[in-house]
Structure 1
Amino acid sequence: MRVDAFDFELPPDRIAQRPVEPRDAARLLCVTADAITDRQVRDLPDLLAPGDLLVFNDTRVVPARLVGRRGAATVSITLHQALALDTWLVFAKPGKRLRVGDRVEFADDFSAEVLEKRPAGDIALRFDRGGAALMTALHEHGRIPLPPYIRGGVADERDRSDYQTLFAREEGAVAAPTAALHFTEDLMAALAAKGIGSTMLTLHVGAGTFLPVKVEDTSDHVMHEELGVLTAETAERINRTRAAGGRIVAVGTTSLRLLESAAGDDGRVRPFEGGTRLFITPGYRFKAIDRLMTNFHLPRSTLFMLVAAFAGLERMQAAYVHARETGYRFYSYGDASLLDPETRP
């Protein structure tokens, strides 16, 4: 499909710069086969049914943006995928001037060596420490890597908590699974009281999620890889829910992508550990999920293509027009939508 089929206009003042408080007070656009209705996230217990299962991504955002020096030159890097305990793929500015073997100094006692420059433009850096020691150094010297449409990507101390979900526990993401930002302890208690369950998977969201689609046709786009884990326990919970007639509700496109990566053609979800490059566009046959809760996405992005594949391109274009005209807040800190599939299997 042509990428410009997924284009739309958005006034800059529709882009949220901070989340609402409390988080479950965010607006929720419900998109079904025959209606578009305005609700709030805190209405979810009334919009779901007993026996349904919410699937959350429990990844935790690390302070993955660093500023260092190579000699006299300043270098800005953003980590986006772990290759080993001490080695990450990064985006660097200016990346072209870095050479294999160069050392980038982030502090007197914290540095990394350039191991490899890849054709796609990312760079493999090996840090002078790994594992928990590296995470400690990132928390000391790094910044939360906000997307560029939020205050130019410059995070402050408030973002260290604002840009983490209630479920964040597995460190490794450089972008938040933003649909889950709307959930509070009170909302989770209300959902549980209604008999609506929840379970976790882990997909470490990479900085590639911010990259624009630069090709003219979706068939020419190369999807970035992200690492994920879906345990046998979670797989069994999902399969039992569906067998009992409950619906699987993916909270966020990251949860959806890992669920679909772990699902067989028979619809059963199996344990998964590894990388996924799943790129979902209209025509894809969904196997593992029944509903999707997600924020509003950028034009011409892989994520808007995904929601169009799930709920229908024309329906999502109409939903986004409604959202723009009625004051919904867009993108990572913005409002959310609850989508039904265009067609049921």
Structure 2
Amino acid sequence: MKQHIFLAVAAVVVLGLTKGVLSFPAEQRETDTIWPIPQKNGSILWMTEEQALTEADDSPLEKKQTFDKIKFFLYTEANPTEPIEIIKDDLKSLVRSKFDFKNPTRFMIHGWMGGYDSGWSIREALLMNGTNKQYNFISVDWSVYSTSALYIPSQRKCSKAGKIVAEFIDWMHDQAKLSFDTLAVYGSSLGAHVAGFAGKNVKRGKIHTIVGLDPAMPLFQYKNTKKRLASTDAVYVETIQTNGGVLGFNEPIGKAAFYPNGGHYQPGCDVNDIFCSHIRAIEYFAEALSQGERNSFVALECSDLESMEKAACGKRLPLVRLGDPNNAKKAKGIYYLLTHSQAPYSILKF
């Protein structure tokens, strides 16, 4: 019987709330050998790397090697709620779709236990916000590998899933003139690393933008950039980090890293609900996109949240805002911002 170090979720969160930091075992901070592994019931098991890998080896998912079941669903302004599947190497499916190479393309990659519709709020923000700009929105469905009852086997499939996404992007470039210059890939949790592996493996160009929405931390070594989302995987990589030290990374792993409310615990989330802070990155990003040019998630380049609250850092110009498509031209470093505890989350109004 495996010996796990179990901590109740409430205890994990409460340990560091007064200091604004979520606590976790010092061994994990120093050596990355003890990990908070999320469970389907919403709890956490702290496990050594050996225990985690043993559990993955025992999973039936680990024996699955067929990746042709990863699917790609296209949404456009003409079909914002009913997707059309595009099948790689099937030109008829591409012709039947409403893909328009003249419009910028956005990919959305879900995380563990997600599905192709997990990014619906982001899709709505882009396709149904009443602006004149049109997009090809492609939702990646890798749920055949990411909906295992165990986190670990899904984590081990990110690299291969990313390669399949890269192959699809290259094929779309060849067959449908998909432009790398206007391409952005969004990934949530494990999906952020899938996006990173896609960026590492595309051969026809370089992805312009990757946005990692609270990139998953458990079992990803910070020092090993080849096996996680890294700042070099696209021309510009932005991370929105909302549950650092538990389900998400503490360390900045994008060219620009945004830490709402300090990046550990999000206001309005129950201390017993670890997933609330984790997925809040999606909600902030969707709201920012829906605001368009009136994006009011203004952030300051700071060393910590306390300095930001005292207005002891940051520059007035250039104005940097979470989720702003123009960040690729001006954002670099670590940024902090505050939000409301419920939607609408942005505090400033323009």
Shorter chain as denominator, the TM-score bin is 0.3 to 0.5
- TM-score normalised over the length of structure 2: 0.33
Which has the bigger relative contact order, CA under 8 A and spacing at least 6?
1
Higher fraction of strand: 1
TM-score normalised by L of structure 1: 0.34
